[in-house]
A and B are shown apart, each in its own frame.
Chain A
Amino acid sequence: MAPEEICKLLTTEFTDAIVKTVVEGAHPYVQVSPDRWPDVARFLCDDSRLGMNLLRSISALDLLSDDRLACVYDLMRIVVDRPDVLITETHEFAIRVETDRNEPVIPSVADVWPAADWHEREAYDLMGIRFTDHPDLRRILCPDDWEGYPLRKDYEFPLEYHGIPATTEYELPNPRH
């Protein structure tokens, strides 16, 4: 299924949920409003035409100029009807969900795709997006007592962590390359 068809299908099914559609470019996606996102996710996964059963990745974005945070969900379909046959057809698509930067909340889709569990934890850990109804929302890469969300554009690197000095080579607060 081509990206245009997926966009069309989604806009007819969820007219109120779709905020923006981008079909051109290297990465076609549909932007969905956060409150309808679980329904869209369930539809994407369960609908027989779409069947996006593989959640490939969740990329959290910091849109500092818009004062927004976003999550990009990259989805893919794996046909499992005929197990022994080489699969050569698929379709991939992306969903973008934006949220407020100061109060970032997106509903979790870990019940739709269990793979989202760790990806959402990573987004929470590094970007500070809170996923409601997540089964186990803890930091995943950083220590539990880490302060701040490192992937945000305005993140200040700490100078010390539990007595371990963390300055950079030139005593700069942020690394420069």
Chain B
Amino acid sequence: MTQFSVPWQPRPAHPYGMASRAVIALAQSVYGFAAPIVSRFPGAILISAVIATCVGVWMHSVLFGWVDTQLIQAAVTLPDYTPPALSLLSPSTWGLTPSVIHALRVDETVAASVAGLLDYVLWPVQFWIVRDVVGLGALFGLFNVIPVYVIWWERKVAGRIQSRLGPMRVGGWHGWAQSPADGIKLILKEDLVPAGADGPLFRLAPYLTIIPSLLAFLALPFGATYVLRELDVALVFILGVLGAEVVGVILAGWASNNKWSVYGAMREACQMISYEIPMGMALLVPVICVGTLSLSGIADVQQGGWFSWIAFSNPFCFAAFVCYFIASLASLKRAPFDLPEAESELVAGFVTEYSGFRWSLFFFAEYAAMFVICAIASIVFLGGWHSPLPASWGGGLGDGLLARGLTGLLFSGPIWLMFKSVFLLYVQLWLRWTLPRIRIDQVLYSCIQVLLPLTMVLVFGATVWTWASTGHNALWSTVEAATRIILGSIGLVFIGGFIAIAGYGFYHRRRMVGNLVQDVMPGS
């Protein structure tokens, strides 16, 4: 028999470089150590991790708050204290030394040696740079955790919608470790750049996509005090940086040197730029009603419970909420507007040529942006971090630790923002796994011919409504209150219907279709 030459080159004996091998060895040893523990106590580890995250976030917020209120205010009252001139070059805000801190804390009832150490622990917290580093660390952690668990949750939701279970194996309890495991797999995958691709641009594109959605977290308030940078124009800033994401996508499509990628990138560009306009216009409606672009300011006017939420304040805001949600689906390229990565048409759109870590960066960016968009929707329309109960009811609880916890749980705290954002995220997932995809001409039709005129009308109507309500007319106040009650009741009916349907589904969850034939059939 003749020998045939192999048209491809055999692989080298060691396909990975030194660093990669070190990483692999590290991962293997960590896995060997951690896997038995994780597989033995999966549920306990998950629950304690959640609790630890909450406590950690709460702790550092409390620490900052304590330093601010106790130390610095006390320091101002010291007779020989002069605050340093604030400038960019002076990193310390208040110029407290450990001895000053100690002097301020001598009356505390902590053991002296521990208290002495604590002075040095507290000392760096007064510097903005330290706080920023701590805050950024927390945000970066959140930025990593959110996509990972949204992806896991999407798979679970998709599974339930499709009458299957979704991930069930990795980590034990409902496959909670599936997404981290996938992430590790993606990081360890081969680093591929197609031969015909534009290498530097191809490598740059994922970062240009992920950095904007990371930036959006900087100005996103999670609660009244949970924000890294309180910006007066937070809304515009977040919309702006999220809009910059399209640059990375176009670059990815172009640099891949693949026609499907170019199609995906061009669709993304045309769709995202079109839908930014109705999205911004829809957000202008509540901004006109409230009169501020600061997200904290917008949230503050919604303290009065369910009926004070902006979505129910007038019909224009109610419609604007729906418009915003649809437009945000399109600008996030979520189904039914997922044309840029339409699998059945464009293979995978602009991510066709990407694999491994770079591919995962695109998905990190997408899911993080989804969360940000949903958080904005909750802040601007749905009361932000305030619960449906009026915040004033919590006024009598006092200032103790338990009272603070109860206030956060019942009236206004980051948990409510998370809850609302996650609910909106769930609606996005729900739509994605239910609806087919629409065509590009229909996408642009619905933007330019439907949403854009509609939001323009809404902006005009909101202006008129706001102008009418500035007059303190008694009749108008009645109309306004009635509108709130009607719209709020519609909202209640929606939520009630949702809960009823969900409850019905939960009650009948055992009725999921099993395998009718296999159990009973002879010979199968």
- A–B contact at 8 Å CB threshold (below): yes
Which positions in A face B, CB cutoff 8 Å?
Answer: 159-160, 163-165, 167, 171
Chain B residue contacts of A167, Cβ below 8 A: 1
Instruction: Evaluate contact between B1 and A163: CB separation under 8 angstroms.
Output: no
Tell me which residues across on chain A come within 8 A of B2, comparing CB atoms. Answer: 159-160, 165
CB atoms of A171 and B4 under 8 A apart: no
- A169 shortest CB reach to chain B, Å: 12
B side interface size, CB within 8 A: 5
| Chain B residues with CB under 8 A of A160 | 2, 4
A-B contact pairs, 12 of them (CB 8 A): A159-B2, A160-B2, A160-B4, A163-B4, A163-B5, A163-B7, A164-B4, A165-B1, A165-B2, A165-B4, A167-B1, A171-B1
Residue of B nearest to A159 (CB): B2
* Least Cβ–Cβ distance between A160 and chain B, in angstroms: 7
User: In the bound complex, what is the Cα–Cα distance between A99 and B230 (angstroms)?
Assistant: 88
Cα separation A40 to B2 with both chains bound (whole Å): 52
Query: How many whole Å from A111's CB to the nearest CB in chain B?
Result: 34
CA distance A159 to B2 in the complex (A): 10
Distance between B7 CB and nearest chain A CB, rounded to angstroms: 6
State in angstroms the CA–CA spacing of A167 and B5 once bound together: 15
Beta-carbon contacts of B1-29 to A below 8 Å, as 1s and 0s? 11011010000000000000000000000
B3 to chain A, nearest CB (A): 9
- CA distance in complex: A175, B90 (Å): 87
| Cβ of B259 to closest chain A Cβ, rounded Å | 22
Which residue of A has the minimal Cβ distance to B3? A165
**Which residues does chain B contribute within 8 Å of A171, judged by CB atoms?**
1
A158 to chain B, nearest CB (A): 13
How many Å from the CB of B82 to the closest CB on chain A? 85
A-B contacts besides A159-B2, A163-B7, A165-B1, 9 pairs, CB < 8 Å: A160-B2, A160-B4, A163-B4, A163-B5, A164-B4, A165-B2, A165-B4, A167-B1, A171-B1
Q: Of residues 34 to 55 in B, which have CB atoms within 8 Å of A's CB atoms?
A: none
**How distant is B1 from chain A, measured CB to nearest CB, in Å?**
7
Q: How far is the CB of A168 from chain B (nearest CB, A)?
A: 12
- Give CA–CA (A164, B4) in the complex, Å: 7
Chain A, residue nearest B7 (CB): A163
Shortest Cβ distance from residue B325 to the other chain A in the assembled complex, whole angstroms: 45
- Smallest Cβ distance from B357 to chain A, in angstroms? 35
| Cα of A44 to Cα of B7 in the assembled complex, Å | 53
Closest residue of chain B to A160, judged by CB?
A: B4
Q: Using Cβ atoms and an 8 Å threshold, which residues of chain A touch B1?
A: 165, 167, 171
B5 to A, closest residue via Cβ: A163
The complex places the Cα of A76 from the Cα of B7 at a distance, in Å, of 49
Give the 3 A-B CB pairs with smallest separation, nearest first.
A165-B4, A163-B4, A163-B7
| Chain B proximity of A8: nearest CB distance (Å) | 53
Query: Separation in Å of the A30 CB from the closest CB of chain B?
Result: 47
Determine the chain A residues whose CB is within 8 A of the CB of B7 once the complex forms: 163
Residue of B nearest to A171 (CB): B1
Docked pose: A159 CA to B4 CA in angstroms: 11
Residue of B at shortest CB range from A165?
A: B4
Distance in Å from the Cβ of A165 to the closest Cβ of chain B? Answer: 5
Chain A residues near B4 (CB-CB < 8 A): 160, 163-165
User: In whole angstroms, how far apart are the Cα atoms of A160 and B3 in the complex?
Assistant: 11
Residues in B with CB closer than 8 Å to A163 are: 4-5, 7
Q: How far is the CB of B9 from chain A (nearest CB, A)?
A: 14
User: Nearest Cβ distance between residue A67 and chain B, in whole angstroms?
Assistant: 34
Residue of B at shortest CB range from A164?
A: B4
B-chain residues with CB within 8 Å of residue A164 when the two chains form the complex: 4
- Complex: A22 Cα to B96 Cα, angstroms: 112
Bound-complex Cα distance A165 to B7 (A) = 12
User: Shortest distance in angstroms between A166's beta carbon and chain B's nearest beta carbon?
Assistant: 10
With CB as the reference atom, state the residue of chain B lying closest to A162: B7
In the bound complex, how far is the Cα of B7 from the Cα of A108, in angstroms?
Answer: 41
Q: Who on chain A is nearest to B6 by CB? A: A163
**Cα A163 to Cα B5 with chains together (Å):** 7
A164 → B minimal CB distance (Å): 7
Q: B2 to chain A: closest CB distance in Å?
A: 8
Q: CA–CA, A164 to B2, complex, Å?
A: 11
- How many angstroms from the CA of A160 to the CA of B5 in the assembled complex? 12
> In the bound complex, what is the Cα–Cα distance between A165 and B4 (angstroms)?
7
> B430 → chain A, closest Cβ, in Å?
41
Closest approach, in angstroms, between the C-beta of B27 and any C-beta of chain A?
39
Cα A67 to Cα B1 with chains together (Å) = 34
A residues near B5, Cβ cutoff 8 Å: 163
Q: CA A95 – CA B4 in complex, angstroms?
A: 47
Contacts of A165 in B (CB 8 A): 1-2, 4
Q: CA A167 – CA B2 in complex, angstroms?
A: 10
A162 to chain B, nearest CB (A): 8
Q: How far is the CA of A164 from the CA of B8 in the complex (A)?
A: 12
Closest CB of chain B to A143's CB: distance in Å? Answer: 16
Give Cα A136–Cα B1 distance, bound, in whole angstroms: 39
Q: How far is the CB of B507 from chain A (nearest CB, A)?
A: 47
> Smallest CB–CB gap between B180 and chain A, Å?
42
Closest beta carbon of chain B to A120's beta carbon, Å: 32
Instruction: Give the distance in Å from the alpha carbon of A167 to the alpha carbon of B4 in the complex.
Output: 12
Complexed CA–CA distance, A165 and B1 (Å): 10
Give the docked Cα–Cα distance between A171 and B5 (Å).
18
Q: How far is the CB of A163 from chain B (nearest CB, A)?
A: 6
User: In whole Å, how far is A170's beta carbon from the nearest beta carbon of chain B?
Assistant: 11
A150 to chain B, nearest CB (A): 21
Shortest beta-carbon distance, B6 to chain A, in Å? Answer: 8
Distance in angstroms from A25 CB to nearest chain B CB is 42
Within 8 A of A (CB), among B178-222: none
| Cα–Cα, bound, A164→B452 (Å) | 59
Report the separation of the CA atoms of residues A93 and B27 in the bound assembly, to the nearest whole angstrom: 71
Measured in the bound complex, the distance between the Cα atoms of B5 and A165 in whole Å is 10
CA distance A167 to B3 in the complex (A): 12
Name the distance in Å between B418's Cβ and chain A's nearest Cβ.
58
Query: Of all chain B residues, which has the CB nearest A167?
Result: B1
CA distance in complex: A163, B8 (Å)? 11
A167, B1: Cα distance in complex, Å: 9
